[in-house]
């Protein structure tokens, strides 16, 4: 919970990891991957929040609990797994790794799973077992992940469609998809947002949370999001620019509010790339300029910030929020009026 100037904010960190990138658990690609993460960490964090590289490679449970819940204002955090077993033989940040903390602190964490459609029928069976074991309500998908000779896959692939059908069947309604900046050595094109459009249209009962709001393809993402009411934007990676590139982040959040609206944006720190404390504080302090190039963007009121910082994610995951902190219509997305059948083209 964060409070400032008489306003209270229920905080759901929609994007956290409990990773192991230690030298014992990485090859040359894993080393390059975590070094790329660390460059984002160093270059976008306030100086006082930059960790030594050794701590960054593998931090402790105590570090995580302190940074999220003791100093970071987080009420509930959502684990987003990233397996990357081609780079990290024992897994970078798997559902099973994250489950250790979920089981120890059940009220603090929501556990998400994952799937890889390249694993075929056997993978479908394993996914169903994973959902049953942990009662999962969401998944995190990494379409650029390497697997053998494959350097990625698309949500629109027929094999992926089978897994999304299984999500509908099992009640796994929240589909988080990494669609953001490239991390070395992954393929930039495998993070393209275009496949979200087809999947969101095909599966209207699923919520597609596009993590990192498609950066650097923000415009493409906005044009998809404005026409697909079940597409949401996860602000992890975007929001840290608030410190080093305030003008850029103001433009990003202004465009997202214009195209998607305040009900479909979700806060995420991407911990441990960044710590939520300074992100929450700087976001609450942010005001949209009233003149100049930003004057036609929506105002960032405390109510809007409450939705983004926690209430929209709480709506998606049925998280209980104190009555006095709720706002009307949080997380509902835009109103969509269906045409009567007689008016539809034939």
pLDDT in tens, 162-214: 999 999 999 999 999 999 998 999 988 889 999 999 999 999 999 999 999 99
pLDDT score recorded for residue 329:
64
Q: Are 155 and 176 contacting, i.e. CB atoms less than 8 angstroms apart? A: no
Predicted confidence at residue 325, as pLDDT, reads 84
User: What single string gives the DSSP state of each residue in 190-235?
Assistant: GG-SHHHHHHHHH-TTSEEEEEGGGTT-HHHHHHHHHH-TTEEEE-
Domain residue spans of the chain: 2-319
Q: Pick from 185, 168, 252, 180: which is nearest to 209 by CA?
A: 180
CA distance 24 to 67: 25
Average per-residue pLDDT for the chain: 93
Distances (CA, A) of 249 to 114, 225, 234, 261, 283: 29, 18, 14, 16, 10
DSSP code at position 23: G
Q: Strand 12-16 relative to strand 76-79: parallel, antiparallel, unpaired?
A: parallel
Q: Counting Cβ atoms within 10 Å, is residue 196 exposed (0-12), middle (13-18) or buried (19+)?
A: buried
Backbone φ, ψ for residue 234 (5° rounding): -90, 125
- Does residue 112 contact residue 81 with C-beta atoms inside 8 Å? yes
Report whether pLDDT(330) > 80: no
Strand partners, 176: 140, 209
Q: Is the pLDDT of residue 256 over 70?
A: yes
CA-nearest of 233, 281, 279 to 259 is 233
In the predicted structure, residue 344 carries a pLDDT above the cut 60: no
For the stretch 62-77, pLDDT in tens is 999 999 999 999 999 9
List 63's β-bridge partners, or say none: none
pLDDT at 341 over 70: no
Contact between residue 333 and residue 229 where contact means Cβ atoms under 8 Å apart: yes
Reported CATH class of domain 2-319 = alpha beta
Residue 345: pLDDT band with limits 50, 70, 90 = very low
Q: How large is the average pLDDT for residues 233-243?
A: 97
């Amino acid at each position: 919970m964060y409070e400032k100037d008489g306003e209270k904010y229920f905080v759901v960190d929609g994007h956290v990891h409990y990773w192991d990138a230690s030298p014992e658990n990485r090859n040359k690609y894993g080393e390059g991957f975590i070094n790329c993460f660390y460059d984002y960490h160093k270059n976008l964090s306030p100086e006082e929040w930059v960790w030594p590289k050794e701590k960054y490679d593998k931090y402790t449970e105590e570090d995580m609990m302190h940074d999220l819940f003791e100093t970071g204002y987080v009420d509930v955090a959502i684990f987003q797994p990233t397996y990357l077993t081609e780079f990290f033989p024992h897994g970078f940040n798997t559902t099973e790794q994250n489950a250790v903390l979920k089981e120890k602190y059940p009220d603090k964490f929501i556990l998400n799973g994952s799937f890889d459609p390249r694993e075929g029928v056997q993978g479908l069976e394993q996914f169903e077992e994973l959902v049953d074991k942990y009662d999962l309500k969401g998944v995190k998908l990494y379409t650029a992940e390497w697997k053998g000779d494959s350097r990625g896959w698309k949500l629109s692939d027929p094999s992926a469609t089978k897994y999304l059908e299984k999500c509908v069947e099992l009640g796994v309604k929240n589909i988080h998809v990494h669609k953001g900046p490239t991390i070395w050595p992954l393929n930039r094109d495998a993070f393209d947002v275009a496949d979200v459009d087809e999947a969101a249209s095909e599966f209207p009962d699923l919520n597609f949370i596009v993590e990192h709001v498609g950066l650097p393809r923000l415009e493409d993402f906005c044009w998809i999001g404005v026409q697909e009411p079940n597409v949401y934007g996860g602000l992890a990676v975007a929001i840290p620019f608030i410190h080093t590139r305030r003008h850029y982040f103001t433009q990003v959040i202004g465009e997202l509010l214009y195209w998607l609206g305040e009900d479909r944006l979700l806060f995420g720190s991407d911990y441990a790339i960044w710590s939520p404390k300074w992100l929450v504080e700087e976001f609450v302090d942010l005001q949209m300029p009233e003149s100049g190039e930003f004057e036609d963007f929506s105002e960032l009121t405390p109510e809007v910030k409450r939705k983004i910082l926690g209430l929209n994610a709480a709506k998606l995951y049925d998280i209980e929020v104190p009555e006095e902190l709720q706002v009307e219509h949080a997380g509902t997305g835009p109103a969509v009026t269906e045409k009567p059948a007689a008016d539809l083209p034939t």
